[in-house]
């Protein structure tokens, strides 16, 4: 059960780009800021020694380019020929935590209103797209139509955002689109919680 907004954000991030196996849970992403955020969440619950970090590095890049995440042990480097940028995978072995995340994911439809925006912000950060002017092309990608529909319903309980769901059959992807008439409002509503939106709002742009 969610008890605070940070947990809601982390749940959204994990639902978007999460990793899980029978006894481990973590996050895979190319954005070091998101990996750091998820790592900080794990470190609050486990000793640093419990965390595992894998970095998948293009063969042309040097390992020294990886920033310090505060994890000094259990770091593994893997070279990837076709990759164009470093990707990261941080996780911890914990059946109880995995069970907790799964229970929260299965109960998203009943999420309390105060947790909706941080949860959607996590989803957005993990699998997002929006125009640089923050006024159009707001979208979040999903592998499941049910998940996309659930998030659409959650947002509509907060405000009557003009949202639609599109299916891309070849990619087997469902995309939640927000109308350009509401994109900027939704972005501003998520700004407090979203790492990526804070970056965009800091960029110089024409209003």
114 and 73 share one domain: no
Predicted confidence at residue 200, as pLDDT, reads 81
Positions of E strands within 2-131: 18-20, 24-29, 51-58, 75-80, 87-93, 128-129
69 and 113 share one domain: no
Q: What is the pLDDT of residues 187-201, one digit of tens each?
A: 999 999 999 898 887
79 and 155 share one domain: no
76 and 143 share one domain: no
Domain count, the chain: 2
Predicted confidence at residue 68, as pLDDT, reads 52
For residue 194, give the CATH number of its domain: 3.10.28.10
Domain containing 188 equals 109-200
Q: What is the pLDDT of residues 98-141, one digit of tens each?
A: 999 999 999 999 999 999 999 999 999 998 777 666 677 888 99
Answer yes or no: is 135 within a domain.
Answer: yes
Reported pTM: 0.84
| Closest to 122 (Cα-Cα) out of 180, 190, 33, 69 | 190
82 and 160 share one domain: no
Q: What is the pLDDT of residues 135-169, one digit of tens each?
A: 778 889 998 999 999 999 999 999 999 999 999 88
> DSSP secondary-structure letter at 1?
-
Q: Is 151 exposed, middle or buried (0-12, 13-18, 19+ CB in 10 A)?
A: buried
Answer yes or no: is 37 within a domain.
Answer: yes
């Amino acid at each position: 059960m969610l008890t605070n907004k940070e947990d809601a954000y982390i749940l959204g991030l994990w639902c978007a780009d999460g990793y899980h196996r029978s006894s481990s849970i973590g996050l895979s992403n190319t954005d070091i800021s998101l990996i750091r955020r998820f790592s900080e969440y794990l470190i609050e619950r486990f000793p640093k020694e419990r965390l595992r970090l894998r970095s998948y590095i293009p063969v042309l890049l040097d390992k020294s380019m990886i920033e310090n995440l505060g994890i000094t042990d259990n770091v593994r480097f893997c070279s990837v020929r076709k990759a164009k940028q470093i990707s990261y995978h941080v996780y911890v072995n914990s059946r109880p935590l995995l069970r907790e995340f799964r229970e929260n994911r299965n109960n998203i439809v009943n999420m309390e209103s105060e947790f909706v925006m941080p949860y959607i912000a996590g989803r957005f950060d993990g699998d997002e797209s929006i125009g640089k002017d923050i006024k159009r092309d707001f979208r979040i990608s999903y592998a499941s139509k049910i998940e996309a529909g659930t998030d659409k319903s959650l947002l509509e309980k907060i405000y009557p955002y003009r949202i639609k769901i599109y299916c891309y059959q070849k990619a087997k992807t469902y995309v939640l689109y927000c109308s350009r008439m509401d994109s900027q409002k939704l972005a501003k509503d998520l700004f407090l919680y979203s790492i990526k939106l804070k970056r965009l709002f800091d960029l110089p742009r024409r209003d």
